[in-house]
Amino acid sequence: MKIHSLLFAAAAWVKLTEARALPTPADALSTLLNETQLAVSKLVDCPLTPSNPQKYWYEEIEKQGTSPFLEGGDDFKVYRNVRDYGAAGDGSDSTAAIQAAIDELRGDPLNMPIFKAASALDPLVRGSDPEQVSPTNFMISIRNIIFDSTDISPDSRMRLLDWAVSQTSTLVNCVFNMPDSSQHLGLTMQGQEGSNNGGGGSPIIISDITFNGGRVGITLNNQQYTLKGITFNRCNTGLDIQSVFGATFHGLHFDTCGLGVEMGRTNSVQGGASFVDCSATNSGPAINAAFSGNGAGSVIIDNFVNDEDKTTFQAGDIKLTGTVKSYVMGNQYVDNSNDPTVNHFMAREITVNRPAALLSSDGKYLVKAQPTYGEYDVSSFASVKNAGAKGDGKTDDTAAINQALQDNANCKITFFPHGTYIVTDTIIIPPGSRIVGEFMSTISGSGASFADANNPRPVVQVGKKGEVGVAEMVDMAITIAEILPGAILLEVNMAGNNPGDVSFHTTHLFIGGIAGSEVNQKCGGSPIDCKAGFMHLHLTESSQAYVENMWAWTADHSIDGAGASGFIGTGRGVLIESTKGTWLMGVSPEHTDLYGTNIVDAQNVYISFSQFETAYWQPWDPAVWTPNAAYKDPDFSNCNGDDNAQCRMGWGMRISGGSGIMLYGTGFWTFFNTWDGVSYEGNCPGKYCQLNAIEITGGTGGSYLFNINTKQIQNLVWGTGKDGSEQVLAEQQHNPGSWPAAGGILAAYLGFSGQ
């Protein structure tokens, strides 16, 4: 993949006088001695205990990261401290020094550095590459930074951060300080006028950010988003939605804001917006929406706490005050039929029965911040390179990694310096594991162990079935080095002693599209010749996992110039069979053949917003794959032979059996039929490119599907009707909205909720 240099922004405050841009990768005796040595070590070092150090471990750890597929990559500086480039951190101008060092901006979470504007910049930081269009501004990261414009005139309409990016980008744990009652804008998504980046993008999530003061905290202009854990203090307007096709806002809090959310302009929200576990205090109206009388601008509220006498939601003549438990404005389907006279526009309170297994003690859905491990000192970390792994993209690191993980369980945090770690057998992560990479350190499967589609095996396996404990993974990527039809990139079997103990943050799954993989070069022709990988992610029956910010991507293009990749055939996206609890907070599977997400006999599943793009080269399904009943594959028998080719395309989501499936948003986008690499949207034979988006079948209960957004898909929902037969349950023609090109928006599908 494209390798990005890493900046450690040392604790200090730095003055910026010019806007900054982020560019857009044995014998028995020795065995006995080794085991004895390990046992003694564990007696000394275990258990892993926070020490609350004064210095951030990452600044002190040995720098061993390399970029193996870059010319001269062994000498490439992955880690860069801005002080080494001339930044003093004493308030003097550090503009040039920071610009010389950066690609990722990472501050010290124990003492966050301050980027303080010295003049009215617009913006203070440009968080994208102007040479790239916004949908390809990948792998840009800002974390643990304070942006400050409090010394700038409040009348200046300056922006602190412009963030026109896409998947794999990370904006987490930052603070935006602006003068109260000022014209300053915290975060925008405009791009750069006159450049290739015209704004917007195709992102996944922004997490755990605070905005203080200013005219607007976030100005939202994008395809889709999950915003999680965002706090707005003393903003004139917290969130100003200018354009979005669909979004979920989880855990927003507004304190002393004039207006919480502005979404009242015509077509500002073309699809739907879900507000989950949000709150306001001492503020003006929390949500100002437009009353359209149809699907566009749908609003879903599920637990919005507010002062008793304050307006929580207003749209036209609708006005709700105080705490709102659950409310939906938009098209609602309730009786498992496709009758628009019964199922259509409503604005009403509803009852949502949340599964207890998904909740924290306060009754809200479980959320977990991305670990920084700042509470541990550097002695708590062990590098896999010190255990013998090379990360050079060619050496087999399987044995070294597996041994390191066993040695470190419950004792050390396993650190993967940046690099590509080739593995020829499954990496097994035991209970008691914490794994942290260095800007997407990559584990890459290779060889015959993953080649048999009839006997698929995981590249990385988290726990064995029935195991319980802690397993965390942060800043990692998992991929395959070649065409491997039997490769499951990530399989999770472990559950936590407590919900959230098993978690994945900023961990991405790639098939093709990056340097170091032969998939691109060997998949340029027909997809029939390229069964590249079996599955991205499998959450098995015994698992319990919290996943935040994951792109499960089958490449439609190359990030690193690694050859064409228009016809890569990956069988499956995300298969969920867990019953103990699953939280998907910003997970996006793309371009997989049979489905994006398949939920089978699962229970207790929370999904914030699921974005899926159908494989560009379809329709072909189920070719190039043979449906595998052991993995609950769809067989497309609903397509009645070959009479409708557009039926034979990957499902955005399937739900069959189980209960407690809580879906708060989808963006199921279809752009092409048999893409030729040149035409864009021009080769779908009519108004639609695909027949069906979601399948939900009988036997499913206690499940709520909110905020369903589609593009050029004829049927939003297909499944078991009230007469027991398989049929169309909701059509785009009755629910227009979201994308202007034959988009659809359904605010709520409640036919399987039990209401």
Name residues whose C-beta falls within 8 Å of residue 707's C-beta, 6 or more positions apart in sequence: 246, 248, 271, 272, 273, 274, 298, 300, 609, 663, 664, 665, 666, 745, 747, 748
* Stretch 534-545: mean pLDDT: 99
Inter-CA distances, 465 with 18, 462, 491, 543, Å: 54, 9, 10, 8
Nearest to 699 by CA among 602, 590, 581: 602
Q: What is the pLDDT of residue 56?
A: 96
712 close to 680: Cβ distance less than 8 angstroms: no
**ω into residue 123 within 30 of 0, thus cis?**
yes
62 residue type, one letter: E
Q: What is the separation, in whole angstroms, between the first and last Cα of the chain?
A: 48
- pLDDT of 154 > 60? The answer is yes
Count the neighbouring beta carbons within 10 Å of the beta carbon of residue 345.
16
Q: How confident is the model at residue 468 (pLDDT cuts 50, 70, 90)?
A: very high
Which range has the worst mean pLDDT, 268-272, 427-431, 496-500, 588-592? 268-272
pTM of the entire structure?
Answer: 0.94
740 burial (CB, 10 Å; 0-12 / 13-18 / 19+) is exposed
Whether the CB-CB separation of 121 and 93 falls below 8 Å is answered with no
| pLDDT (average), residues 499-518 | 95
CB neighbour list of residue 321: distance below 8 Å, 6 or more residues apart: 306, 308, 309, 310, 311, 312
Q: Which residues contact 273 (CB under 8 A, 6 or more apart)?
A: 241, 244, 246, 247, 248, 249, 263, 297, 298, 299, 300, 707
Q: What is the DSSP string of 635-669?
A: --GGG-TTS-GGGSS-EEEEEES-EEEEE--EEEE
Q: What is the distance between the alpha carbons of residues 334 and 751, in angstroms, rounded to a whole number?
A: 5
Token digits of residue 705: 């599907």
CATH code linked to domain 26-66+385-593 = 2.160.20.10
Q: How many residues does the chain have?
A: 755
395, exposed or middle or buried, with CB in 10 Å at 0-12, 13-18, 19+? middle
Q: Taking the CB of residue 197, how many other CB atoms lie within 10 A of it? A: 26
pLDDT number for residue 4:
38
pLDDT category of residue 417 using cuts at 50, 70 and 90: very high
Give the pLDDT confidence of 112-148 residue by residue, as tens digits: 999 999 887 889 998 877 777 777 777 789 999 999 9
Average pLDDT, the chain: 90
The top-level CATH class assigned to 611-755 is mainly beta
Longest dimension (CA), the chain: 82
Phi, psi of 698 (to 5 degrees): -55, 150
Distance CA 69, CA 409 (A): 31
Domain with CATH 2.160.20.10 in the chain: 26-66+385-593, 611-755
The single residue listed with the structure tokens 């009388």 is 293
Residue 755 — pLDDT band, cuts 50, 70, 90?
confident
- Return the DSSP state at 68: T
β partners of residue 416 = 437
Q: Which of 629, 668, 665, 666 is nearest to 650 (CA)?
A: 668
* Residue reference for tokens 């016809």: 567
Average pLDDT over residues 547-573: 84
- Reading the block at residue 432, the tokens are 């008691």
Tell me: pLDDT of 597 over 80.
yes
pLDDT at 750 over 90: yes
Distance CA(73)–CA(75), nearest Å, equals: 5
- pLDDT value, residue 7: 45
Mean pLDDT along residues 578-606: 98
Write the pLDDT tens digit of every residue in 196-247: 676 778 889 999 999 999 999 999 999 999 999 999 999 999 999 999 999 9
Look at 210-224, 226-240, 501-515, 552-566 and tell me which has the smallest mean pLDDT.
552-566
Tens digit of each residue's pLDDT (9 = 90 or more) over 32-57: 334 434 444 444 458 899 999 999 99
Q: Give me the pLDDT at residue 137, please.
A: 76
